Structure 1
Amino acid sequence: MLHRFDIGGMESVFAALIDRLPRDRFRHTLIALTEVNPAFRQRMARDDVAIYSLHKREGKDWAVWGRLYRLLRRIRPDVLHSGNIAAVEGQFPAWLAGVRRRVHAEHGRDWHDLDGSNRKYQLLRRLLNPFVQSWVPVSQDLARWMEADVGLPARKIRLIVNGVDLTRYAPDSTARAALAEGGIAPDHFVIGCVGRFWPVKDHANLLRAFAHLLATDPEARQRARLVIVGDGLLREQLHTLARKLEITPQIWFAGARDDAPRLLAAMDLFALPSLAEGTPLTILEAMATGLPVVATAVGGVPDLLAAEETGLLVPPADPNALGQAMQRYLHNPSLLADHGAAGRARAAARFDLAQMIDAYADLFEETTDSER
């Protein structure tokens, strides 16, 4: 159960669980408090998934919890798995409806609460704790925050780090041809980013960093190109900013794509400029593809990225630092290759999707006599 099933990292985890958990042990139902994006439906391989949209109104809509309670009483699931603050309140109706196993995952903090200090949100989680049997953070950072700041009991916290499909995301020497659509030549140095155009992702920081790189490095002005894969509510603002920075000729806004793995494999360097993160799947996907990563040191990112081994960490909202990190790779092909290979090896050793699937399977099948 999510607030909305759309295109994003958390939704990708839910889609992977639906498709990869053993069919002989698990059946699935999707519940969206608002709506399900048709694009999300297309990402699921299984065709036996029931989907319900509860059409929650904007803001407080107390009636939606009644609709959720009645739905749960009718379909009688064994487990309710919800994600992030916008869906956590559904755990109480699930308890009332007699759902035996209740799991809530935190994949990152709310845009309005980047550091997790919002007392109202912390209190809400504590009040709902008696009705949640397992809290699942996807990063060490979130696990520490759940216990130390929110005050949830350590015995209920189960860390499950996101995993990546090492077959789908892998180096591909033929992928470079995919960039021709964006007017990018084989000899260009391609910096890429994949993600929704959402304030917390701070794509504006990346555009300013790229502009700084081009303004301070004549070679970058000739060779460097930026490919941004994704879409979202800030699309027009980002296009306007690119024009204002006079970097539009060096950027390809590729839009939302079904071939993101191929575009990743066509890049030289991956950049993540976020203000906050849980365990960003895009970093794992880039590492699995053999790309070095330049990322902001926020949330669970430092747990994924081995600084100076698989990539470089920079402060958030610091375009000069981000631009300088990208510049290091532009002028050092051996560093680019070494960090890319190390990233692929690290993803295979520590973040294989199969490990994540097994962890969730074990969690969902656990039983408990105590709910408090």
Structure 2
Amino acid sequence: MDSSLERNDHQSHPNHHRIASRHLLHVFPTFAIGGQQVRFAQIANACSQAYRHTIIALDGNFDAKSKLLETIDASFIDLSHLKQQHVLQRMQSIQHYLADHQHDTLMTYNWGAIEWALVHRIRSRATTTVTAPQHVHWEDGFGPEEQQERLPRRNIFRRLALSDDTKVVVPSHQLQYIAQQEWHVPSTQLVYFPNGIALPTLHPETQTLRQHPTFITLATLRAEKNIPRLIDSFLAAVPDGKLIIGGGGPLLEELRTYVVSLNQTDRIELTGNVTDIWGFLAQGDVFCLSSDTEQMPISVLEAMAMGLPIVSTEVGDIKTMLPPENQAYIAAPADYPATMKKLLAHQDYWPTIGRANKLRVSQHYSFDTMLHNFAALL
């Protein structure tokens, strides 16, 4: 066995020796802060007595560890060195790791962890005397390389890796369709798992309309979020007001430089990482989503819970998430500036949209339902 695998196993939470009823091994391409990682942390925090977690980050980034409560029984393992290995050597390392570290359920996340799914399938078929651990594979969306259409070689690899007893979990109806049609996942294995949120403790009232409104977004700043589209659309459509962009990510400094080059630092603010989500969203009058690809963004649910109208590109399940009152402000990418301008022109309708959004999220996307769905997976 690769000795570096064993050394990394000591990067643990102080409470990692407490015994929990079920050991979950999570393999994340990254444990940086993002929608997938935040959802996991929220579920883990709510079920702190039920599970013991081992969290692998294949890039060595554990920023989302900050989202976990101190009471969570978790170990954190950096396996970033695996990417330096040849694919066959890497598969052998994965096999050794799965054999030497006991777990009840393997949870793999997105394309970046698909090799672990394949090794699990191979090991399960070779196991004759011991019941293989359960496998749950989560797919939450795609990077820029697959936002228009999936790569055929990846579709084939997914079909090979996802075994007959693997549960494949998706958060959107769009991704559910892709999994069935392109990856050939049987309906009996496919689990629709809509995101849910815990509502703010103090239910916000719809804010008083301001003369100079604030447009706001919250995202991990990656290419597929297309924040330049948001910046350009805001400047074209909103003559007075402010744009606040919350979130960190690999493009943060590049976007700050872009705002400086436009000489718009007085109107556009990039805050970096946000810890107080509700306090941050309370600064806004309109929530913006400018992504090229999404499935079911938690940030939109949070904005709905705060009673904000949403102006969004037509991606993923956005149309099914939002109520009829907000439907007119979902745009094709080319129409995004015009749609933002249309929403600005109907400012007197914002309180109506906000109330409808709050009602929608409370009725259809509850945190308790998400917790129930998670327990049902296991």
- Bin for the TM-score computed over the shorter chain: 0.7 to 0.9
Which residue does 1:49 correspond to in 2?
74
Which residue does 1:32 correspond to in 2?
57
Unaligned runs of 5+ in 1: 177-185, 215-219, 365-372
CA RMSD of aligned residues (A): 2.4
For 1:202, the aligned partner's letter is N
1:150 aligns with 2:186: no
Deviation at 1:75, TM superposition (A): 2.9
Which residue does 2:251 correspond to in 1?
234
Q: Which residue of 296, 302, 309 corresponds with 2:326?
A: 309
Distance of 1:59 and 1:304 partners within structure 2: 41
Worse-matched range after superposition: 262-271 or 299-308:
299-308
Sort the Cα spacing of 1:51 and 1:172 in 2 relative to 1 into closer, same or farther, 3 A: farther
Distance of 1:361 and 1:87 partners within structure 2: 22
Provide TM-score, normalisation by structure 1.
0.85
Distance of 1:76 and 1:99 partners within structure 2: 10
For 2:214, the aligned partner's letter is V
Bigger relative contact order (CA 8 A; separation at least 6): 1
Provide TM-score, normalisation by structure 2.
0.83
Sort the Cα spacing of 1:197 and 1:35 in 2 relative to 1 into closer, same or farther, 3 A: same
- Figure out how many residues of one structure are paired with residues of the other and give that number: 342
Tell me the SS of whatever aligns to 1:155.
coil
- State the identity %: 24
Which string of whole-angstrom CA distances, capped at 9 and with x for unpartnered residues, describes residues 126-155 of structure 1?
111226511111100000111112222222
Tell me the SS of whatever aligns to 2:198.
coil
Distance of 1:99 and 1:51 partners within structure 2: 23
Aligned residue runs from structure 1 range 175-186, under 5 A: none
Q: Which residue of 6, 9, 14 corresponds with 2:40?
A: 14
Q: Which residue of 144, 160, 164 corresponds with 1:111?
A: 144
Distance of 1:332 and 1:157 partners within structure 2: 41
Which residue does 1:368 correspond to in 2?
none
Which string of whole-angstrom CA distances, capped at 9 and with x for unpartnered residues, describes residues 243-295 of structure 1?
34443321111111212321102210000000001111111111111111111
Q: Would you say the 8 A contact 2:233–2:336 is kept in 1?
A: yes
Distance of 2:144 and 2:85 partners within structure 1: 18
Q: Would you say the 8 A contact 1:230–1:257 is kept in 2?
A: yes
Question: Structure 1 stretches (4+) deviating beyond 4 angstroms?
Answer: 57-61
Which string of whole-angstrom CA distances, capped at 9 and with x for unpartnered residues, describes residues 195-233 of structure 1?
11111000010011011114xxxxx33xx1100001222
Tell me the SS of whatever aligns to 1:158.
strand
Which residue does 1:347 correspond to in 2?
361
For 2:373, the aligned partner's letter is A
Deviation at 1:68, TM superposition (A): 3.1
Sort the Cα spacing of 1:199 and 1:193 in 2 relative to 1 into closer, same or farther, 3 A: same
Distance of 2:138 and 2:308 partners within structure 1: 28
1:138 aligns with 2:171: yes
Q: Would you say the 8 A contact 1:54–1:68 is kept in 2?
A: no
Deviation at 1:169, TM superposition (A): 8.6
Which string of whole-angstrom CA distances, capped at 9 and with x for unpartnered residues, describes residues 11-53 of structure 1?
1111122112362x3222212223132x311210133211112
Sort the Cα spacing of 1:163 and 1:195 in 2 relative to 1 into closer, same or farther, 3 A: same
Q: Would you say the 8 A contact 2:57–2:78 is kept in 1?
A: yes
Q: Would you say the 8 A contact 2:292–2:313 is kept in 1?
A: yes
